[in-house]
Amino acid sequence: MTTILHGNIIHTPSFGALETIPGGYLILEDGVIRGIWPDLPEEYAACPVTDYGDSLIMPSFADLHLHAPQYPMLGMGMDLPLLDWLDTYTFRTEARFEDEAFARRTYRRLARDLITSGTTRVAMFSSRHTDATWILMEELERAGVAGYVGKVNMNRSSGLSQETTEESISETLRWLEGCHFDLVKPILTPRFTPSCTNELMAELGRLAEERDLPVQSHLSENTGEMALVRQLHPDCAQYWETYRKYGLWKDRTLMAHCVYSDVREQEAMIESGVWAVHCAASNVNLCSGTAPVRELVNRGVQVALGSDIAGGDQLAMHKVIVMSIRASKIRQMETGASFLTVPEAYYLGSSAGHRYFGGGEGFASGQKLHAIVVDDGSLPEPVRELSLAERFERAVYLMGKEQIKAVYSEGINRL
């Protein structure tokens, strides 16, 4: 089936680049992008056109790090450093997902809120609960959100949310058996080194290898956390080595934060194909620090963005993109490293994440369409006619759900 979208097409075909096609045509065959044309090609003259008028057609967002069971604590309790925040607020909130009705209600809302905010791909942490994790995967699938979800493994120092080693392993196996979803796939999720014993880490590493499963976790987020990791693993000179030791540091492993990753840790990421997920809002909220995002990108580390709710307080990725720009400006004032431009940060919050899942950059041909349609006509009236690049910048800073008129995930409008 042919679908033709007409509107102002704006996309980020590579890091830092911005391409604008005023009144262009985006043509799909069965949801897959055939190409972008400034004028409708003759061969399509007889096909119906979905006309978005003067609206902006832009890539949708990919959120590569967030905690679904922290959605009920969104916007609250960000007054403690990481380890105290986990002990005081987080583990007890996640413990509630034992209750399947509560999980269904919360996850249905979350999945819908992701779509209405323009996020179409995610790499997400669930809680330790197998049944609630399946519910989360079902609700994402139903809403049309694609990506990875992980049942969290945590058999140490995890308060109310702690599992035994045997439970953690047997429940992970049971969970994997029941993962038969189309858009949503499993990812192994040792929460972070302090919450997993060596025995559990080794078992998860074996499973990752044996079943060729991807891995996600946290790395070098906070100084207190790093001191604890050094104490737990005196044989490892750096945090990342605790993951490598157990086979969890591998191609496409996602590591959230990397605020304190130095040159050596960054080079280890490049060597193994590990991705850094930059979570600027969370890093400021929990006073963790400002991540060296420019350094990571320049050195060649693969970087994407994460909302990290509920350390982060904003689910909407355009707000996370803006926060990444702001945090990079603070970093510039502190260190002189140049800040992220709007097209650069947008690329990290959209194309980079889509590329992690095998998608293309910007609206690359041959990929299922992941796009949002933004009607910026209701934003405050500008003093003069704006270029598409200016309208793009203004939309990134000012848009809300009210301006998002369509959300294409895997080639289908899910709004």
CA distance 227 to 73: 27
What is the residue whose two structure tokens read 């413990």?
95
Q: Between 144 and 311, name the residue whose CB sits nearer to ligand GUN.
A: 311
Instruction: Indicate whether 225 belongs to the interface with Fe ion (CB under 5 A).
Output: no
Instruction: Indicate whether 151 belongs to the interface with ligand GUN (CB under 6 A).
Output: no
CA distance 246 to 346: 34
Round to the nearest angstrom and report the end-to-end CA distance of the chain: 20
Token pair for residue 110?
A: 């979350």
Cα distances (Å, whole numbers) of residue 239 to 225, 245, 247, 262, 280: 10, 10, 14, 11, 20
Instruction: Indicate whether 243 belongs to the interface with ligand GUN (CB under 6 A).
Output: no
**Backbone torsion region of residue 208, taken as left when φ is above 0, otherwise alpha when ψ lies between -120 and 50, otherwise beta:** alpha
Cα distances (Å, whole numbers) of residue 17 to 13, 108, 343, 347, 402: 6, 36, 6, 8, 27
Q: Between 65 and 391, name the residue whose CB sits nearer to ligand GUN.
A: 65
Instruction: Indicate whether 282 belongs to the interface with ligand GUN (CB under 6 A).
Output: yes
The single residue among 203, 221, 344, 376 that binds ligand GUN, judged by CB under 6 A, is 221
Residue 251: closest CA among 265, 266, 270, 267: 270
- How do strand 189-190 and strand 254-257 relate by DSSP bridges? unpaired
Least distance between ligand GUN and beta carbon 286 (Å): 6
285 binds, among Fe ion, ligand GUN, none (CB under 5 to 8 A by kind): none
Q: Which of positions 29-68 make contact with ligand GUN (CB under 6 A)?
A: 67
The single residue among 3, 8, 12, 90 that binds ligand GUN, judged by CB under 6 A, is 90
CA distance 24 to 6: 6
Least distance between Fe ion and beta carbon 311 (Å): 6
CA atoms within 13 Å, Cβ hemisphere of 215: 32
CA distance 236 to 75: 36
CA distance 339 to 344: 10
Instruction: Indicate whether 311 belongs to the interface with ligand GUN (CB under 6 A).
Output: yes
The single residue among 68, 86, 219, 255 that binds ligand GUN, judged by CB under 6 A, is 86
Q: What angle do CA 223, 257, 127 make, to 5 degrees?
A: 100
Instruction: Indicate whether 94 belongs to the interface with Fe ion (CB under 5 A).
Output: no
# chain residues binding Fe ion, by CB under 5 A: 2
Residue number, nearest CB to ligand GUN: 311
Judged by CB under 5 A, the stretch of 93-101, 115-123, 209-217, 308-316 that binds Fe ion is 308-316
Least distance between Fe ion and beta carbon 265 (Å): 18
Site string for Fe ion, 41-80 (x = CB under 5 A): ----------------------------------------
Q: What amino acid is encoded at 333 in this protein? A: M
Least distance between ligand GUN and beta carbon 64 (Å): 13
# chain residues binding ligand GUN, by CB under 6 A: 11
Q: Between 283 and 302, name the residue whose CB sits nearer to ligand GUN.
A: 283
The single residue among 163, 203, 265, 308 that binds Fe ion, judged by CB under 5 A, is 308
Q: Between 196 and 407, name the residue whose CB sits nearer to ligand GUN.
A: 196
Q: For the chain, what's the residue count?
A: 415
191 binds, among ligand GUN, Fe ion, none (CB under 5 to 8 A by kind): ligand GUN
Q: 187 near 123, Cβ under 8 Å?
A: yes
CA distance 221 to 210: 29
Least distance between ligand GUN and beta carbon 147 (Å): 18
Q: What angle do CA 228, 243, 150 make, to 5 degrees?
A: 100
Q: Between 311 and 359, name the residue whose CB sits nearer to ligand GUN.
A: 311
Segments in 217-292 forming alpha helices (H):
223-232, 239-244, 263-272, 280-285
Instruction: Indicate whether 191 belongs to the interface with ligand GUN (CB under 6 A).
Output: yes
CA distance 120 to 111: 10
Least distance between ligand GUN and beta carbon 43 (Å): 51
Q: Between 18 and 201, name the residue whose CB sits nearer to ligand GUN.
A: 201
Point out which residues bind ligand GUN (CB under 6 A).
Answer: 67, 82, 86, 90, 191-192, 218, 221, 282, 308, 311
